[in-house]
């Protein structure tokens, strides 16, 4: 490891990065309006007249809507001109501690905001979706109008405030504040139904699992300050720049081990918050929370915080030899494992939860494959179609008294009042399955192709794993659609059926109202329009690509023109003097053609001898369509789309049931989530439980015993002396005589 003072002085003198300009002061309202909404919801809880109305919902929707409008204005301000701007907005000085004048002897963290195109990209869908989901929740949570209603929207608003701090903060400490804030709000919202033991256990599980990851993030922030002497982005990224230049020059030895260790710690935090192996088990259980919580926190915002963290600190990850390969493989394995579990579940909301974990795996894999554009694009598209899917499941749960078992519902799309839900669900399923020309197809394709383009440890194998996972995703997605939304009409109420509804045979589901239908319609349209962003700014790989390229998440490029290659430390064999001088390396842009690549597959990679970006459209389409057709054959109703593929005539059974015996124990293992929770319980929870009881006994018998003994010694001494102080004179005389005899005996013994 290098001496710390050396790199600091060298970095400080060699950085040549401009200082961001001051941004508009009103941008801070984007953060503080949700906080104001939280406070006003508290006022509504205090005032009885307000408490009995839907005022908390309308306050939340209005203020979040204004926050979204301000984000749009901020986007126009930042993206104005040929190149995106980076601006700073400082609200107040938060921490300013100094113990010397040397570098690293001042700790500065302002409550301010670092705004570039990546910030705006994230805040557009955070505030936009938060507004829509709050409107949805105004109807969904109407059964709980009162203190519970106020509590829900207060926590909802506080979550958006925390997420805004995380994304917009101009330093790692403010990011950490938002990071812990979304964790707290997740705990509050998952455990909203605190009278149910399952909800309480799920909330605690989410909180504890996130604390494990958060420890890694905290240590990473500390190590960042220890080495660089700052946690302010505007100061930190120029200090990282010389290490990036060393990477471009192929001089990896100039990058200290401490710098390479920082992203490894940050990565642990990202894995916890974004539910990656081995810290993913909290997210499926989080479905105990109300469905709007699942749509907001566990589809579009909080769970993408880990992706944002890596994207924001991408230069640090790029100069580490291990960080991005680990990110790529953890994402790949998470995607596969979660998809296999989702295939065997019957709870449609839980299936969507495992789907979220799987799609987050794709995003992490994209970051590891050096396509931060692909990862961010998948975050963007996934936010819309997965929110739509969760909210459709929520509408079903709301209308069918909590029923979520796909074996007890069928033909929902064709029931009166459920048409919009069925259409929105179909659009969401097509996107999730990666059906050709949908937004999910384009974003997932970019990541899949890059697996074969980017040289890395076994990346081609990772690409094949992700392709198989894409087929599995299409299967379990349309398994839900074919079982629940088409086919013979059948509905059994869930556990929440009211007494006045009577027997199941007399149960009548209630269709969603205007708020739920309006939100689902908007999200369905947004999911379709998101595909169009792929064709905007095509030379920069879409509108999202333009936003990424104007930020710290931009891919690091070595060389210029047709000889440019994207670089990371584990690709040091591809960079250096040859790449700098453009002697032998081909481009690795997101959509380089074989002609642009000069026909070489050494630096560019290949898929069965072909350019991955040229053929992946067709390959991923085949896997996706194969998954859909398999689901249609096994779960589709008789005469599906007039193709007579399916055969299902009732809700409870399908052709897939006949395959269960042939698959042996695999089905049961997948239904029990591969017993990962049980393994954690055996390896971690039970030993800690035994150890805690051992320490309890040590504390009770040894520690408390010694303390109690010290406390009893004066009492024991007093009781032993008390008889000698009886007040009887002849007793004192006997005592004196005995003492004198003892002294005489002692003197006699000493003189012998």
- Per-residue pLDDT averaged across 437-444, rounded? 93
How does pLDDT run across 668-718, given as a tens digit for each residue? 999 999 999 999 999 999 999 999 999 999 988 888 888 888 888 888 888
How does pLDDT run across 173-214, given as a tens digit for each residue? 999 999 999 999 999 999 999 999 999 999 999 999 999 999
Q: Closest Cα partner for 174 from 105, 92, 106?
A: 92
Write down the pLDDT at residue 644: 61
DSSP 190-240: HTSSTTSHHHHHHHHHHHHHHHHHHHHHHHHHHHHHHHHS--BHHHHHHHH
Rg of the chain (C-alpha set): 31
Helical packing angle, 117-140 and 147-168, nearest 10°: 170
Reading the block at residue 456, the tokens are 């890395």
Classify strands 557-558 and 565-566 as parallel, antiparallel or unpaired: antiparallel
Reading the block at residue 366, the tokens are 């994209």
Reading the block at residue 153, the tokens are 């929207």
Neighbours of 727 (CB within 10 A): 6
Q: Which uninterrupted H or E stretch holds 183?
A: helix 172-190
**Mean of all residue pLDDT scores within the chain:** 86
Q: Name every residue whose Cβ is closer than 8 Å to that of residue 465 and which is 6 or more positions away in sequence.
A: 332, 333, 335, 336
Is pLDDT at 370 greater than 80 in this prediction?
Answer: yes
Write down the pLDDT at residue 497: 67
Characterise 280 by phi-psi region: left (phi > 0), alpha (psi -120 to 50), beta (else).
Answer: alpha
* pLDDT bracket for residue 539 (50, 70, 90): confident
Is pLDDT at 101 greater than 50 in this prediction?
Answer: yes
Q: Name every residue whose Cβ is closer than 8 Å to that of residue 730 and which is 6 or more positions away in sequence.
A: none
Q: Name every residue whose Cβ is closer than 8 Å to that of residue 372 and which is 6 or more positions away in sequence.
A: 311, 314, 366, 548, 553, 554, 555
Q: Closest Cα partner for 473 from 326, 628, 661, 301?
A: 628
The answer to whether 586 touches 565, Cβ cutoff 8 Å, is: yes
Q: Which residue has the higher pLDDT, 251 or 173?
A: 173
Q: pTM of the prediction?
A: 0.87
Q: Is 109 strand, coil or helix?
A: strand
Please state which of the ranges 297-306, 559-568, 730-739 shows the lowest mean pLDDT: 559-568
Q: Which residue has the higher pLDDT, 572 or 469?
A: 469
Is pLDDT at 410 greater than 70 in this prediction?
Answer: yes
Is pLDDT at 574 greater than 70 in this prediction?
Answer: no
Q: Which uninterrupted H or E stretch holds 97?
A: strand 87-98
What is the C-alpha to C-alpha distance for residues 604 and 649, in angstroms, rounded to an integer?
51
Classify strands 490-491 and 409-410 as parallel, antiparallel or unpaired: antiparallel
Q: Name every residue whose Cβ is closer than 8 Å to that of residue 252 and which is 6 or more positions away in sequence.
A: 246, 321, 569, 572
CA 321-323-324 angle, to 5 degrees, is 95
Write down the pLDDT at residue 222: 95
Distances (CA, A) of 346 to 79, 217, 266, 280, 528: 45, 35, 35, 20, 28
The answer to whether 334 touches 279, Cβ cutoff 8 Å, is: no
Is pLDDT at 723 greater than 60 in this prediction?
Answer: yes
Write down the pLDDT at residue 694: 93
Tokens 């669900």 label which residue?
425
The answer to whether 535 touches 542, Cβ cutoff 8 Å, is: yes
* pLDDT bracket for residue 16 (50, 70, 90): very low
The answer to whether 317 touches 310, Cβ cutoff 8 Å, is: yes
Question: How many angstroms separate the first and last alpha carbons of the chain?
Answer: 74
Is pLDDT at 169 greater than 70 in this prediction?
Answer: yes
Query: At 70, phi and psi to the nearest 5?
Result: -65, -35
CA 699-700-705 angle, to 5 degrees, is 100
Is pLDDT at 634 greater than 80 in this prediction?
Answer: yes
Classify strands 87-98 and 557-558 as parallel, antiparallel or unpaired: unpaired
DSSP 644-701: T-B-B-SSS--GGGGGTGGGTTHHHHHHTGGGHHHHHIIIIIHHHHHHHHHHHHIIII
Write down the pLDDT at residue 575: 44
Query: At 276, phi and psi to the nearest 5?
Result: -105, 160
- Per-residue pLDDT averaged across 46-70, rounded? 94
Is pLDDT at 501 greater than 70 in this prediction?
Answer: no
Distances (CA, A) of 24 to 75, 88, 91, 113, 551: 12, 8, 11, 11, 19
Q: Residues 690-717, buried b or exposed e (16+ Cβ, 10 A)?
A: eeeeeeeeeeeeeeeeeeeeeeeeeeee
Diameter of the chain by CA atoms? 123
Task: List, in sequence order, the alpha helices (H) in 502-558.
Answer: 514-532, 542-549
Is pLDDT at 316 greater than 80 in this prediction?
Answer: yes
Write down the pLDDT at residue 593: 39
What is the C-alpha to C-alpha distance for residues 739 and 744, in angstroms, rounded to an integer?
9
């Amino acid at each position: 490891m290098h001496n710390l003072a050396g790199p600091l002085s060298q970095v400080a003198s060699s950085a040549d990065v401009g200082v961001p300009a001051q941004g508009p002061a009103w941008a801070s309202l984007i953060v503080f309006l949700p906080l104001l909404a939280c406070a006003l919801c508290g006022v509504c809880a205090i005032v009885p007249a307000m408490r009995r109305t839907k005022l908390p919902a309308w306050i939340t929707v209005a203020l979040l809507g204004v926050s979204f409008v301000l984000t749009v204005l901020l986007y126009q301000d930042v993206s104005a001109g040929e190149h995106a701007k980076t601006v700073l907005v400082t609200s107040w000085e938060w921490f300013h501690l100094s113990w010397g004048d040397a570098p690293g002897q001042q700790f500065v963290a302002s409550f301010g905001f670092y705004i570039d195109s990546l910030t705006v990209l994230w805040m557009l869908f955070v505030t936009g979706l938060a507004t829509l989901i709050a409107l949805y929740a105004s109807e969904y949570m109407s059964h709980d109008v009162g203190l519970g209603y106020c509590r829900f929207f207060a926590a909802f608003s506080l979550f958006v405030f925390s997420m805004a701090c995380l994304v917009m903060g101009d330093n790692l400490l403010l990011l950490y504040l938002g990071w812990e804030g979304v964790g707290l709000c997740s705990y509050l919202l998952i455990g909203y139904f605190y009278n149910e033991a399952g909800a309480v256990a799920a909330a605690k599980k989410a909180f504890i699992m996130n604390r494990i990851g958060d420890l890694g993030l905290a240590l990473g922030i500390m190590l960042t300050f220890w080495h660089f002497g700052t946690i302010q982005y505007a100061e930190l990224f120029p200090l990282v720049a010389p290490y990036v230049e060393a990477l471009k020059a192929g001089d990896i030895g100039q990058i200290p081990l401490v710098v390479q260790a920082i992203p490894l710690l940050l990565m642990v935090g990202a894995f916890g918050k974004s539910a990656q192996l081995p810290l993913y088990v909290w997210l499926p259980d989080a479905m105990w929370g109300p469905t709007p919580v699942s749509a907001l926190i566990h589809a579009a915002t909080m769970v993408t915080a880990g992706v944002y963290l890596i994207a924001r600190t991408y230069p640090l990850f790029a100069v580490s030899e291990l960080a991005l390969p680990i990110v790529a493989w953890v994402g790949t394995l998470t995607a596969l494992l979660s998809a296999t579990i989702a295939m065997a579940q019957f709870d449609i909301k839980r299936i969507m939860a495992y789907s979220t974990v799987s799609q987050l795996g794709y995003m992490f894999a994209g970051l590891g494959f050096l396509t931060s554009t692909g990862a961010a694009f998948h975050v963007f598209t996934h936010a819309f179609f997965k929110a739509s899917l969760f909210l459709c499941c929520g509408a079903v749960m709301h209308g069918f008294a909590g029923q979520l078992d796909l074996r007890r519902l069928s033909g929902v799309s064709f029931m009166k009042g459920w048409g919009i839900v069925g259409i929105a669900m179909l659009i969401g399923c097509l996107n999730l399955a990666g059906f050709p020309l949908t937004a999910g197809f384009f974003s997932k394709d970019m990541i899949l192709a890059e697996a074969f383009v980017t040289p890395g440890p076994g990346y081609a194998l990772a690409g094949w794993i992700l392709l198989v996972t894409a087929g599995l995703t299409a299967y379990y997605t349309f398994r839900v659609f074919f079982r629940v939304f088409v086919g013979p009409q059948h509905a059994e109420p869930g556990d929440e059926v009211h007494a006045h509804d009577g027997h199941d045979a007399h149960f009548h589901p209630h269709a969603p109202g205007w708020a739920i239908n309006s939100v689902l319609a908007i999200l369905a349209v947004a999911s379709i329009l998101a595909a169009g962003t792929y064709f905007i700014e095509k030379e920069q790989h879409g509108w999202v690509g333009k936003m990424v390229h104007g930020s710290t998440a931009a891919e690091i490029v070595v060389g210029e023109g047709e000889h440019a290659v994207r670089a990371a430390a584990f690709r040091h064999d591809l960079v250096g003097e040859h790449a700098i001088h453009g002697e032998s390396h081909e481009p690795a842009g997101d959509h380089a053609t074989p002609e642009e690549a000069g026909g070489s597959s050494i630096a560019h990679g290949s898929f069965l001898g072909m350019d991955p970006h040229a053929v992946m459209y067709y390959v991923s389409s085949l896997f996706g369509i194969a998954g859909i057709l398999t689901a249609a054959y096994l779960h589709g109703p008789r005469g599906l789309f007039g193709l007579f593929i399916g055969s299902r005539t009732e809700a409870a059974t399908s052709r897939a049931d006949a395959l269960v015996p042939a698959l042996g124990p695999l089905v049961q293992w997948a239904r029990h989530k591969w017993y990962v929770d049980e393994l954690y319980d055996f390896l971690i929870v039970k030993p800690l439980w035994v150890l805690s009881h051992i320490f309890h006994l040590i504390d009770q018998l040894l520690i408390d015993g010694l303390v109690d003994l010290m406390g009893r010694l004066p009492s024991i001494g007093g009781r032993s002396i008390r008889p000698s102080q009886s007040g009887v004179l002849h007793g004192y005389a006997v005592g004196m005589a005995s003492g004198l005899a003892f002294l005489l005996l002692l003197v006699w013994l000493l003189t012998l």
